[in-house]
Amino acid sequence: QVQLVESGGGLVQAGGSLKLSCAASGSIFRINNMGWYRRAPGKQRDVVATITSGGATNYADSVKGRFTISRDNAKNTVYLQMNSLKPEDTAVYYCNAEVVAPSTLGGYWGQGTQVTVSS
C-alpha cells in the first residue's frame, strides 16, 4: 500500500514563509504527476500547484509568484515553498501523487497538514 505523509505546516505571521514536504512510501515503481491542494473550512478543495515527472509546473493564480513546487524523484518527495504568506492562504494542505505500483496506477492523498497565517 502506498502512503503519503505531509509535514511542515504550522502557524506563521503574514509575510512569513513555510516549506511543506510530502514523502511517498510503499510499493512504488515511479510517480508521475504530483501536486498540492488546499481546503479552507466550508470551501472546496482547490489545486495549489502541480508538477509532472519531468518537472513542468502549474500554479493557481492566487499563489503564482509566491509559491514554488519542486520534487526529488530519488526520495519520492514533493515540496511546496510558500513565501509572502497571506491570511487567505490558511487551509489544510494536501499532497497528491499519481503512483505507478505493481499492476496498478492510482491517485493517492496524504492526510493533510494545517497552515495558519495570522494577520
Query: What pLDDT score does 102 carry?
Result: 81
Which residues fall within 8 angstroms of residue 67, CB to CB, at 6 or more apart? 48, 49, 59, 80, 81, 82, 83
Give the pLDDT score at 104.
Answer: 83
Average pLDDT over the chain, rounded to whole?
95
DSSP state of 68: E
Q: What is the DSSP letter of 60?
A: -
Note the pLDDT of residue 60: 98
Q: What is the per-residue pLDDT across 66-111, written as a single tens digit (0 to 9) for each?
A: 999 999 999 999 999 999 999 999 999 999 999 998 888 899 999 9
User: Across residues 46-67, what is the average pLDDT?
Assistant: 97
CA dihedral angle for residue 53, residue 62, residue 64, residue 31, rounded to 10 degrees:
-10
**Mean pLDDT along residues 16-36:** 95
Is the separation of the CB atoms in 26 and 110 below 8 Å?
Answer: no
